[in-house]
Chains A and B, each alone.
Chain A
Amino acid sequence: GAGVSQSPSNKVTEKGKDVELRCDPISGHTALYWYRQSLGQGLEFLIYFQGNSAPDKSGLPSDRFSAERTGGSVSTLTIQRTQQEDSAVYLCASSPSFNEQYFGPGTRLTVT
């Protein structure tokens, strides 16, 4: 079946502009995660959605970052006033249960 999809696959933006990254999770998965992966680094947790519960935003690095999940499905990660240090691969994962996560291919963001 279809896996987690993310769009765009690559995004180049100028410093100070806003960007929106999209994640389409696997149908029926109630949990959705966003991570950031910088070059040579591990996965940095950003935000977690579970069903209709309030999201866990504890990993968001600043108030320039926000995320929504509409109808318990598609999620959008928004970065306002992008900075060069925001350049990274942004990964989305969905999960049907408490354990295994299924990752999308990521969006590579480059801020010039």
Chain B
Amino acid sequence: AQSVTQLGSHVSVSEGALVLLRCNYSSSVPPYLFWYVQYPNQGLQLLLKYTSAATLVKGINGFEAEFKKSETSFHLTKPSAHMSDAAEYFCAVSDRAGGYNKLIFGAGTRLAVHP
């Protein structure tokens, strides 16, 4: 069975500061890993995904994540937070059978950015 743990349900940073959102996964097979962002009352937007190519994955809006197999982690970072980054972020895992299958989501981390 696969699972995702996001450490920290709420993270608060100053505008311009480093953003670090933590995600650890559990999977019995090589995983696909994803980060999504959700703004209030909206669906999910894909930020980036890991599919066994480069371990450092760059996504949209300046976000990136590094897959570390030894640590079973896929933390999301952004060097400089912007007010518009305030949102809910979800880490997700999927197995590889038959392409992308169902996604298992973490509990989410709410990012607040203050001036």
> Does B bind A?
no
A residues near B (Cβ < 8 Å) are none
